[in-house]
Every structure is written in C-alpha cells, then in structure tokens.
Amino acid sequence: MVAFLDSLEHERHNTVASRNVRLAALHAFFRFVAVHEPEQLARSQRILQIPFKRADHRLIDYLEYAELQAVLEAVDRSTPAGRRDYALLATMFNTGARVQEILDLRACDLQLEKPYQVHLFGKGRKERLCPLWPQTATLLRELCAERQLALRPAVPIFVNQRGQPLSRFGVGYILDKYLKRAQATIAPLQGKRLHPHSMRHSTAVHLLKSGVDLSTIGQWLGHASLNTTNKYATIDLDLKRQALAQAEAPTTEALASWRQDATILEWLEAL
C-alpha cells in the first residue's frame, strides 16, 4: 500500500494533497473491512496506521469586488449565451453556492417575488434558503422568461446550447473565458489561480468585508462547522491592514530614555 502511495507521487506526479485524499479513501474502506471482515483485522490495522503527509497550504485566491465587476463587464449580454453566463456568474457570487448546487438549481427552487430567495441542496442533501439581491432576482426572472420557463417545473435553470444541463467543466470554461478578457484591464488577475470554487471564496470575503459576522457567513455558505468559515478571517489582507492600523505600534523612545539617566549609568559602572 505504501508503494502504491509512493507511485502516486513519484510516477504519476500527484501532489501530497492528492495522495492524502487517496489515503483517506483507503482508510475509510479498511475501517469498513475491519468491522465486517474480522479475519482481515490485522491487515486493516496496518493500513489504518499509514500516516498522512503534511502538505503545503496555498493561499486562497478570490476575486476582489472590482475584479468581479471587470469579469461581469467582460460578458457580452447581447447574445442568449452571454445573458445566461452573466446570470450564472451573478448567481454564483450572490449565493456563494458550490458549483454542483448551482448546476442542480431548478425553476421550482426560485422565489423571484419578495422575499427573493433560492432553495439550495448542499452536501448530504442538506437544504438551505439563500437570499437574493433584487438585481440577481431580475436576472434570473429575465433568463426564465427568455427560456419560457414557468417557476413551477423541476427543470434546470442553466443549460448549454443543446438544452442539456451545464457541467462543472462547462462552468469552468465560462469563468475562464471571462477571466482572460478581464485580465486586459485588471492586471492583478493574471497572478491569481482562479476556478469556479473561487466565486464561493469571493462571496465569503465580500460578506466579511461588509461587516457580516462569521456565523452568518457560515450559514449563508452552508458550512457544517464554523472552523471552515474561520479561514476567511485570515486571508483578507485589507482586514489585516485595518487591524494593524488600529493597533498601537511599539515605540523605542521610552526604552531608550535610560541612556540619558546619569544615575543609572553610574550605578551600572559601579557594579
């Protein structure tokens, strides 16, 4: 088993994080084996003792609000595909939903009359309601009208040109296309490693900067644990600068004042 994990790194050039994901799956399987196949208990225990490797943690890349605006402005809304793409990206940012949650969104999950909201199904089929900004509700209402969708049937909202539901790769392609266009006007975008899940990170940071507490952000994003939400408190540089500005910098003047005190100098010389 160790040889298999080593081959993932050295022959298939998987990252340490990918190796740990494979090992986690193996651990889960052999915990099941240990319970249901007692004769394999010794082998299962040996495999369960294989440790995870420490992996480097990359900084989380996300879109600043100005960068998101540049991405949205890069969308050509004169075409049906452009109007779909604009509504897709705006809904992703508004809800902070996972990509699969957006792809699973159906017409019957929308409430486009006040109070505007969407019904999302997260991991483990956990359900939550997410509020919509009026602008987002308008975009979705216009998209449904263009596709002649009533808000009752369980039909997908975001489809490709063949009328089939968009895939995760399709969403990635759409985002990448407009990111490349926006890079011409927003230079910092060129150094960021962005993907569809980055929209979720962007939503969390935007809410945090707007003064929304972490508990509410966690509920907004559908986090099972507040520990998952806490990571956003550590990634925003603007918040760190604000904290630094509020903190009083140490001064050396008081510490150096003894140098002017002849009594202390004389006492030290006498030691």
Reading the block at residue 243, the tokens are 């904290």
Cis peptide before 115 (omega within 30 of 0): yes
Catalytic residue of the set 19, 84, 106, 200:
200
| Three-class SS state of 234 | helix
Closest CA to 175 of 63, 71, 59: 71
If asked whether residues 81 and 196 sit together in one domain, one would say: yes
Any domain includes 132: yes
d(CA 256, CA 65): 45
If asked whether residues 103 and 35 sit together in one domain, one would say: no
Q: What is the pLDDT of residue 241?
A: 64
Active site residue 116: no
Q: In terms of residue numbers, what domain contains 15?
A: 2-48
Q: What is the pLDDT of residue 255?
A: 47
Q: What is the pLDDT of residue 240?
A: 60
Q: In which residue are the tokens 């969104």 written?
A: 105
Any domain includes 248: no
Any domain includes 105: yes
Any domain includes 93: yes
| Three-class SS state of 166 | coil
Catalytic residue of the set 119, 141, 177, 197:
197
Pairing of strands 110-111, 117-121: antiparallel
Q: Give 163's DSSP letter.
A: S
If asked whether residues 183 and 74 sit together in one domain, one would say: yes
If asked whether residues 154 and 206 sit together in one domain, one would say: yes
Catalytic residue of the set 123, 180, 240, 241:
123
Active site residue 197: yes
- The stretches of the chain forming alpha helices (DSSP H) are 2-10, 16-36, 41-48, 65-73, 80-95, 99-103, 134-146, 168-182, 196-209, 214-221, 226-230, 237-246, 253-256, 262-269
d(CA 73, CA 200): 19
Active site residue 13: no
Reading the block at residue 241, the tokens are 């600068």
Catalytic residue of the set 98, 106, 201, 206:
98
Q: What is the pTM of this model?
A: 0.74
d(CA 174, CA 82): 10
If asked whether residues 42 and 86 sit together in one domain, one would say: no
Q: What is the pLDDT of residue 267?
A: 58
d(CA 186, CA 194): 14
Reading the block at residue 271, the tokens are 């030691």
If asked whether residues 168 and 98 sit together in one domain, one would say: yes
Any domain includes 145: yes
Closest CA to 182 of 28, 58, 52, 69: 69
Any domain includes 60: no
Q: What angle do CA 53, 55, 61 make, to 5 degrees?
A: 160
Active site residue 123: yes
Q: What is the pLDDT of residue 248?
A: 54
d(CA 208, CA 238): 11
Packing angle between helix 168-182 and helix 65-73, nearest 10 degrees?
A: 100
Catalytic residue of the set 84, 201, 206, 223:
223
Q: Could you read off the pLDDT tens digit of each residue along the chain, which spans 271 residues?
A: 889 988 988 898 888 888 999 999 999 999 999 999 999 999 999 999 999 988 766 778 899 999 999 999 999 999 999 999 999 999 999 999 999 999 999 999 999 999 999 999 988 778 999 999 999 999 999 999 999 998 888 999 999 999 999 999 999 999 999 999 999 889 889 888 899 999 999 999 999 888 899 899 999 999 888 888 888 877 666 666 665 565 555 555 554 554 555 566 665 666 5
Closest CA to 200 of 160, 173, 178, 171: 171
Tally of domains in the chain:
2
If asked whether residues 13 and 116 sit together in one domain, one would say: no
Any domain includes 266: no
